[in-house]
Amino acid sequence: MNKLIDEVGGEETVRQLVDRFYDLMDTRTEPAIKVIRDMHAKDLKASREHLFLFLLFWMGGRETYIEERGHPRLRRRHFPFRIDHQASAAWMTCMNQALDEVVEDESIRRRLSMAFGRIAGHMQNVEVHEG
């Protein structure tokens, strides 16, 4: 059975996806995207590397992320940041655009978008009530 890392196009494609995602987050001007950008350091180099290594591991590739950083504990790592539905949706806006631009296979794009959507939803740690 093929690993997702192979189906998506290998490490090079994952690197392109991560770079495009962070380029979009860094340059789009919507207020919600600026909010998630501000959750990151001014220099995105470390964030890019962490996401790249995490996705390699998550997609069945090398386990450098685990070796260097331990268990992902994604929600715990993101808990210091205020992540509501709007922030989660803004993250997905950038990721879905990156997926559309980088991943050629539509079925893999949809599969990744659905999986990333579940993860982004799980990262929410603030509930906002309008009214």
CA distance 90 to 16: 20
Smallest Cα–Cα separation from 55: which of 110, 124, 125, 119? 119
Helices 45-58 and 11-27, interaxial angle, to 10°? 140
**pLDDT one digit per residue (tens) for the chain, 131 residues:** 679 999 999 999 999 999 999 999 999 999 999 999 999 999 999 999 999 999 999 999 999 999 898 888 888 888 889 999 999 999 999 999 999 999 999 999 999 999 999 999 999 998 765 54
Render pLDDT for 55-77 as a digit per residue (tens, 0 to 9).
Answer: 999 999 999 999 898 888 888 88
Q: Which domains does the chain have, with CATH numbers?
A: 11-123 (1.10.490.10)
How confident is the model at residue 49, as a pLDDT? 97
